[in-house]
Amino acid sequence: MTSTSAKQPMGRRALFQSALGAGIAGVLAVASAPPAFAAVNYYGLTTDEWKSLQRLFRDNGISPGAIDGVPGTNTWKAMQRFLILRGQNPGVVDGQPGPNTWRAIQRFLTQFPWYSVGPVDGIPGPQTRAALKQWANLAA
């Protein structure tokens, strides 16, 4: 007697249909996956604080894009343009918060005695982040 649980070899047609079904299921699973988003660095600020800065840029005639509290490319371009209007040179207006942008932010904030940014080195360290946070809250 043979066991009913013994596996029978699959015919070519059954094997193809099985593989086709698995392939379609895999495609459907991939097609229905949520879109991946790039990680956004908020540099210690909340979305409300970023919204305050976005409104500050907008109120100074510089479009930050949507007032959504997300420091994306448009917000960083607005930051760079704002810094240029304030006599700072953030380098190329590219929407990327690189060392030149951070040095310009640090130089801008050191003009005011109530901000302590630490060394003007183009690195968003803890003191620079704290000063940026203070500025955002003052802008609110």
The pLDDT value given to residue 30: 46
CB 75 within 8 A of CB 50: yes
Task: Tell me which amino acid residue 94 is.
Answer: D
> Can you give the pTM of this predicted structure?
0.73
Confidence bin at 24 (pLDDT 50/70/90): very low
Say yes or no to pLDDT of 16 above 90.
no
How would DSSP label each residue in 42-63?
Answer: -TT--HHHHHHHHHHHHHTT--
Cα(44)–Cα(135) distance, rounded to whole angstroms? 12
The full set of domain ranges for the chain reads 47-139
The pLDDT value given to residue 19: 46
Handedness of CA 62, 63, 69, 74 (dihedral sign): negative
Q: pLDDT (tens digit, 9 = 90+) per residue, 50-89?
A: 999 999 999 999 999 999 999 999 999 999 999 999 999 9
The pLDDT value given to residue 39: 82
Q: How far is CA 122 from the centre of its chain?
A: 19
